[in-house]
Amino acid sequence: MRTLIIHNPRSGFGSDAVFQFERAVAQAGDECLLRILEEDFVASEACADAGDFDVVVLSGGDGTVSTLLHALAGRDVPTCVFPSGTANLLAANIGNAPEPSSLARACRRGMTARLDLGEISWTDEIGQRRTRGFGLMSGTGFDAQIMQAALPNKAMMGQAAYFAAALANPRPSVVRFTVTIDGRTVEREGITCMVANNAMIQGDIQIVPDCRMDDGLLDVIIVETSDATQLLAPIAFGLVDRAGKSIGRPHIKSLKGREVRVEVSEPVALEVDGEVMPGLVRSYEARALPGAARMVVDSMSPYGGADEGPSRFGGSDVIAYPK
């Protein structure tokens, strides 16, 4: 097996887990090339030779990984997401066993699933058209404000920085969103409008139910509230109902579609997979890229099959304890 690891050393806490992964791959006798990204890396250049390898491992935070996945979209290279960032939500949503040796094993087994990516486009403040790929979600409004506020504390506090930032911004501004999904338009007032390829956020909470990255659709999520303490209510619901199936989340409106256009009544901040874009926007377009990533998955992943064969302890789930 020839493995290419593309690693961003500026992601997260500077964990050395990716080097454990590299050792696990090399110990098994496989060839492994470790490419360290420069600060101003160009994603298409960093993975230009990906086709020369059996597996490409993307190691970094959600922003880095999604940028690289977008550059690899449609290339059909088996790709493994390695969690080296602060939150690692994309890796969590893919759901593989996260330990370096487990991921090395998943790469060797080579089970893959074709999973969707998202793509978002907008016009920036100097009139330039910009396009970014995303693995998780992107959006305008309060979520972008939270990401911005969390930035100074991410290195020290990790995921708690997001919650601290949400609590420190209790009165987000309410704007009017005009959302067109596959030709159908709805209007809503709210504090944020996000497009999601995945809906599991910090704390294993599903903010909307049944969001999958293999249905070829984006979920559009509008949070209709003016008070962050109301936003915390669905999060609290999530703590007892992680699957997000419960009723009683009146403030979250969710829709599904392949192509989405969002117009906002006033300029708002935009974030893409947790990275705040410079300037403010009045509108954006997003679309699903169905099956664009060929992702390494294991039997722990909701997108993986049972690859381990029957248990040597037998297939019964009835356990007979001695009396």
- For residue 206, what is the DSSP state? E
CB 93 to Mg ion: min, Å: 11
Does position 89 interact with Mg ion (CB under 5 A)? The reply is no
Does position 224 interact with Mg ion (CB under 5 A)? The reply is no
Residue 34: exposed, middle, or buried by beta-carbon count in 10 A (0-12, 13-18, 19+)? middle
Place of tokens 């599904």: 256
Does position 286 interact with Mg ion (CB under 5 A)? The reply is no
Number of C-beta neighbours around residue 294 at 10 A: 18
Does position 217 interact with Mg ion (CB under 5 A)? The reply is yes
Find, among 142, 254, 144, the residue nearest to 199 by Cα: 254
Total number of residues that touch Mg ion (CB under 5 A): 3
131: left (phi over 0), alpha (psi -120 to 50) or beta: beta
Q: Residue 194 in contact with residue 221, Cβ under 8 Å?
A: yes
CB 196 to Mg ion: min, Å: 8
Nearer to Mg ion, 35 or 258 (CB): 258
- For residue 288, what is the DSSP state? E
Nearer to Mg ion, 108 or 212 (CB): 212
CB 115 to Mg ion: min, Å: 9
CB 71 to Mg ion: min, Å: 21
Nearer to Mg ion, 46 or 218 (CB): 218
CB 193 to Mg ion: min, Å: 17
Does position 259 interact with Mg ion (CB under 5 A)? The reply is no
Does position 289 interact with Mg ion (CB under 5 A)? The reply is no
Q: Residues in the chain, how many?
A: 323
Nearer to Mg ion, 191 or 289 (CB): 289
**First and final CA of the chain: distance in angstroms?**
50
CB 218 to Mg ion: min, Å: 6
CB 260 to Mg ion: min, Å: 12
For residue 154, the SS3 value is: helix
Interface with Mg ion in residues 197-216 (CB under 5 A) = 212, 215
Nearer to Mg ion, 7 or 294 (CB): 294
Nearer to Mg ion, 6 or 194 (CB): 194
Nearer to Mg ion, 215 or 263 (CB): 215
Residue 202: exposed, middle, or buried by beta-carbon count in 10 A (0-12, 13-18, 19+)? middle
Strands 184-190 and 175-181: antiparallel
Binding positions for Mg ion, rule: CB under 5 A: 212, 215, 217
